[in-house]
């Protein structure tokens, strides 16, 4: 079970969601401090984190799975979002330099096929940054946030999944040590609670973040390359809203 795009937008508009956005966006930015001239895409519900790169990236796009719908983004100007099939992305081979995945992998029912598709569209020096709920963390046990839905991961599970899809994990980070409650004392000083969590319960973060690179010697299965001819992009026009199922 997972939420839809409207649910996710509502979460990120609330006080707790705004705190999550600030904390995770700073971690993403720390990993990708310079994307000038790069082709950057997000898969899942990533619009709260892509705004950082709008003035730098050579091209930018938010790819939202048909399974939970899409909303136009940004609010002004041409929409940069598209409704896609998660395992048949409307991108050419090696068309992306950076791919950010948030609210995606834990909700996918075809995680290995999804990662192989990410492998296909990444350039040889490309990187994917994945954010998933930590199986040990409290956030995965509370269904009042999006991180309480889907299948959370441990580091070992995520490592195996990435290596099976021909990715090499390069950097690990942990975030959201703040308890997942909409209490002002927590949301007002998130940096304090993050530092305290790292000291007191370092293995119980809310999310795991891993950056991985593709193993360029990996062969693309024939049936995956044949599917490329069937891919198409479905843009989300400004003002349009994908209704709930």
CB of 174 within 8 A of CB of 193? Answer: no
- Give every CB contact of residue 145 below 8 A, 6+ residues apart in sequence: 11, 16, 17, 20, 139, 180
Q: What is the number of domains present in the chain?
A: 1
Global pTM reads: 0.86
pLDDT tens track for 105-141 = 999 999 999 999 999 999 998 999 999 999 999 999 9
Whether 242 is covered by a domain: the verdict is no
Give the 3-state secondary structure of residue 102.
strand
162 inside domain? yes
Exposed e or buried b per residue across 5-20, where buried means at least 16 C-beta atoms within 10 angstroms of its C-beta? bebbbebbeeebbebb
- Confirm whether 245 is domain-assigned: no
Residue 210 lies in a domain: yes
- Residue-range definition of the domain harbouring residue 22: 5-235
Ranges 58-62, 176-180, 231-235: which has the least confidence: 231-235
Q: What is the pLDDT of residues 23-80, one digit of tens each?
A: 999 999 999 999 999 999 999 999 999 988 999 999 999 999 998 888 899 988 888 9
Residue 200 lies in a domain: yes
CB of 80 closer than 8 Å to CB of 61:
yes
Which H or E element spans position 25?
helix 15-31
Q: Is residue 243 part of a domain?
A: no
Query: Is residue 76 in some structural domain?
Result: yes
- Say which residue, 56 or 187, is predicted with more confidence: 56
70 DSSP assignment: -
CATH code where residue 84 lies: 3.40.50.150
Whether residue 18 is contained in a domain is answered as: yes
């Amino acid at each position: 079970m997972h939420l839809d795009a409207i649910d996710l937008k509502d979460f990120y508009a609330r006080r707790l969601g705004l705190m999550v956005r600030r904390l995770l966006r700073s971690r993403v930015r720390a990993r990708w401090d310079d994307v000038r001239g790069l082709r950057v895409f997000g898969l899942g519900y990533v619009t709260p984190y892509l705004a950082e790169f709008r003035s730098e990236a050579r091209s930018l796009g938010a790819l939202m799975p048909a399974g939970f719908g899409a909303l136009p983004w940004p609010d002004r100007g041409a929409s940069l979002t598209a409704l896609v099939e998660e395992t048949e992305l409307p991108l050419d081979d090696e068309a992306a330099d950076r791919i950010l995945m948030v609210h995606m992998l834990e909700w996918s029912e075809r995680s290995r096929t999804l990662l192989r598709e990410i492998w296909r569209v990444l350039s040889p020096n490309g990187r994917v940054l994945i954010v998933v709920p930590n199986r040990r963390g409290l956030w995965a046990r509370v269904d009042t946030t999006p991180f309480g839905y889907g299948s959370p991961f441990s580091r070992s599970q995520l490592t195996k999944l990435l290596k099976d899809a021909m990715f090499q994990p390069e950097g690990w980070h942990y975030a959201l040590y703040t308890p997942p409650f909409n209490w002002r004392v927590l949301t007002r000083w998130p940096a304090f609670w993050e530092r305290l969590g790292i000291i007191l319960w370092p293995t119980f973060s809310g999310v795991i973040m891993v950056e991985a690179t593709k193993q360029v010697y990996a062969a693309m299965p024939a049936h995956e390359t044949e599917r490329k001819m069937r891919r198409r992009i479905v843009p989300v026009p400004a003002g349009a809203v994908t209704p709930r199922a």
